[in-house]
Each structure stands twice: as structure tokens, then as C-alpha cells.
Amino acid sequence: MRVSLCLLPGDGIGPEIMPQAVKVLERIAGKFNHEFFFAEALIGGAAIDATGGPLPQETIEKCREADAVLLGAVGGPKWDNVANEIRPERGLLGIRKELGLFANLRPAHLFPELAGACFLRPDIVARGIDVMVVRELTGGIYFGEPKGFDTRDGERVGFNTMIYKEHEVRRITAMAFEIARGRGKRLCSVDKANVLEVSQLWREVVLEVAKDYPDVELSHMYVDNAAMQLVRDPSQFDVIVTGNIFGDILSDEASVITGSIGMLPSASLSDDGPGLYEPIHGSAPDVAGQDKANPMATILSAAMLLRHSCNMEQEAQAIEKAVQRALADGFRTIDTMEPGKAQVGCAKMGDIVAERI
Ligand code: IPM
Ligand code: MG
């Protein structure tokens, strides 16, 4: 199969982790007889430096022409003081919106090999962690209008609007039910319906969609309780569906309890068009340029890309198995290092995984 991919390395460790995923994809191409064509484009701070804005039109076009997009990370202290409208993060939010990527899939899965790096008590870890967070990505308070700054009663105010239209809730809920159907058949919808009107509508629509999925067990949880339950006993969750900002927060939490945020991939999907795949972690400016980053999250994002955008389940599993084998063989980057393991750098880890395909 011929597949065209657009790479957006971005900032910080982005340009270091991206070539590791490319190495692994090239290995897959050889083994499974595919042809991957790579285009590259600018986003985030790198785009600001080169063009004055975080999301050049050319980048949007290159992404639209591709079958899928693989992204590294955006942002860093260098751009902390640029105007709000051109912050690196705006590039990321912009490309999500431009490509209609309303569904963000963030699997938090504990590799047994990393159980020792997990922050939770061994008896809790023993029950296993395998949670899929399905986060709404193009609505909610991130994009709601009105928003801005104002002066009211003689003092400065800042404001945003948390708003969901029913079609936005319906499509993300249907996607989450479909995913739950293909896994443990349990879906937990997370909201704040005891306080927020937007959450009351969310819950009503979720209940309507649930009628089409009688085989999936649905529950509801308030977001504060969900944050607590995730660390108390993550094994109670199969699939979580939630809005943009709750999903942002809960997915960081879900990821770090698996040992390292450096391990976790994500997929952002639309109804048609190319999907965008990226590690959950950020640009890690503190370790950028030192060959210390963990490339696993990006490599596993490439696996999700093959699964969701190319219909290559076997190939995706080959990558996931190679990652697991690299861990089983004792190789670790610094973020997951434990006594008795072999510490390697970012580029070396890419080689190690590629060799195991
Ligand atoms: C994420 C990040 C982004 C978000 C930022 C960088 C805009 O935290 O992908 O979770 O808030 O969505
Ligand atoms: Mg986040």
C-alpha cells in the first residue's frame, strides 16, 4: 500500500523523537511491503521563527493532502512572551480545528515491564491499568465564544465560555460507544452535571445515544470524583468519554500513573479526512537537544496511525510488540530508568525498537 504522511516535528524534543518513529515506519514498510512517502511542515515555535505565525497556510495544505499526520510537540520558553494569538499552542489548536479532529483517543496502558516505574501501590498496579480516554477536541471551553479580556466595575476580567452543541456531544459519544464495544464494553461519561448546565445537556445527550448501545454498560461520574477514582483504582475504568478541558486534565493524570508520560500516544480523528497522531507529552524544553527524550510515545503514535488511518492492524501490533520487546530486553530511557536496566538515549532507543520489528 502507498501511504503519504505529513510530519510536523515542532519544537523542543519534537525534532529528536520524530526521526525515531520514521525509522520504525521505514522498517514496517520493508517488512510488510508498503511505501511510505514523507512530507514535512512547520508548526508551533518553529513556524513562528520561520514565518511569523504558528500555523502557516502551507502546513494546513500539506496536512490536508496527506493520508495522516504525525506530530512531535509544540511550545517552549522561547515563545512564552509572544502575543496570545500567535502562541505555539495556537498552532496545535488551529490544526485540530482545521482538520475537524473532534475525537481524541488517549490510551493509558501499563506495560507490565514498567510496573516498577508506576507511581501507585503494587497491589493497585496488580489489577492492571488499561484505560482509553476519549476526549472531545474541537469544542467546549477551548473554543467557546465569547472569550477575552474586559474591564468591568473598574477592574480587569478574563473570561471564556464552556459550550457544547448537541451534535458535538452526540458524535463524540457515539465514537466512544463504538470503541467501548470493541474493548471491555464499559463506558464512563465524565462531567460536572451537579453544577454546570453544559454538563447537564452533555448527560442528556449521552443517555439518548446510549439507547443505540444496549450491549455497553454506561455510567456517569463527576469530574472531581473521576480524578480521585483514577488514582484510587484505575482498573475500574475501560473507556472514559468527556469534554475538552476535563479530558485534557484526566488524560495527563491517566498517563502518568502508567509510569511515564513519555510512553503514551494519541490519535485525533475526524469524520473523514486525515487523522493526526501525537505523543501526549509536550516539548520538554529542559531535556531538548540532549538525546534524552523517550521516543516510545511517538513510535506508539505511529502504530495508532497505521491502525486508524491505514487499516493496518497487523503492522500496528508489530510496532507495539517491538516496543514491548525493547522494554523486556531491559532498555530504558532516563524517564523510566530503574536499577538493573540499560539506559540508552533517544536515537539508540529508536534503533532498538526498529531492530525488533
Ligand atoms: C494536550 C496539550 C494541549 C491541549 C495544549 C498544548 C494546547 O495540553 O494536547 O493535551 O491543551 O490540548
Ligand atoms: Mg494536555
Is the residue at 109 inside a domain? Answer: no
Residue 110 lies in a domain: no
Tell me whether residue 111 is in a domain: no
Give, using CA atoms, the residue closest to atom 5 of ligand 1. Answer: 89
Question: Which of 257, 288, 321 delimits the end of a domain?
Answer: 257
Asked if residue 146 and residue 210 are part of one domain, the reply reads yes
126: number of CA atoms within 13 Å, CB side?
3
For residues 208 and 290, membership in a common domain is answered with no
The rounded Å distance from CA 248 to ligand 1 centre is 7
Q: Which cell is 244 given? A: 475538552
Residue 345 included in any domain: yes
Give residue-wise pLDDT tens across range 133-171: 999 999 999 999 999 999 999 999 999 999 999 999 999
Q: Are residues 59 and 43 in contact, defined by beta-carbon separation less than 8 angstroms? A: yes
Domain check: are 129 and 220 in the same one? yes
The residue length of the chain stands at 357
* Protein residue with least CA distance to atom 12, ligand 1: 248
Does the residue 269 lie in any domain? yes
CATH number at residue 330: 3.40.718.10
Half-sphere exposure of 341 (CA within 13 A, CB side): 20
Cis peptide before 146 (omega within 30 of 0): yes
Domain tally for the chain? 2
Question: In the chain, which stretches have pLDDT less than 70?
Answer: none
Same structural domain for residues 352 and 327?
A: yes
pLDDT at residue 116, rounded to an integer:
85
82 and 202 belong to one structural domain: no
Substitution site in 11, 43, 87, 89 for ligand 1 pocket (most atoms within 8 Å of beta carbon): 89
- Asked, for residue 112, whether it belongs to a domain, the answer is no
Ligand nearest to the CA of 73: 1
DSSP code at position 262 = G
Among the listed residues 192, 238, 277, 335, the single catalytic one is: 192
Question: What pLDDT is attached to residue 310?
Answer: 97
Instruction: Please give the DSSP secondary-structure letter assigned to residue 297.
Output: H
pLDDT of residue 178: 97
Dist. CA 169 → ligand 2 center (Å): 20
Classify residue 83 by its DSSP letter.
-
Based on the residue annotation, tell me whether 142 is a catalytic residue of this protein. Answer: yes
Cβ 163 vs Cβ 267: under 8 Å: no
- The domain in which residue 218 lies consists of 119-257
pTM of the model: 0.95
pLDDT value at residue 255: 87
Cβ–ligand 1 distance for 92 under 6 Å, the answer: yes
Say if residue 58 is in the same domain as residue 133.
no
d(CA 204, CA 89): 32
89 C-beta closer than 6 A to ligand 1: yes
Instruction: Please indicate, yes or no, whether residues 129 and 244 belong to a single structural domain of this protein.
Output: yes
Residue pointed to by grid coordinates 523486556: 328
- Cβ–ligand 1 contact at 11 (below 6 Å): no
- Nearest Cα residue to 42 out of 109, 102, 94, 111: 94
In a domain, 317, yes or no: yes
Is 248 catalytic? The answer is yes
Residue 63 located in a structural domain = yes
Domain boundary among 257, 287, 318: 257
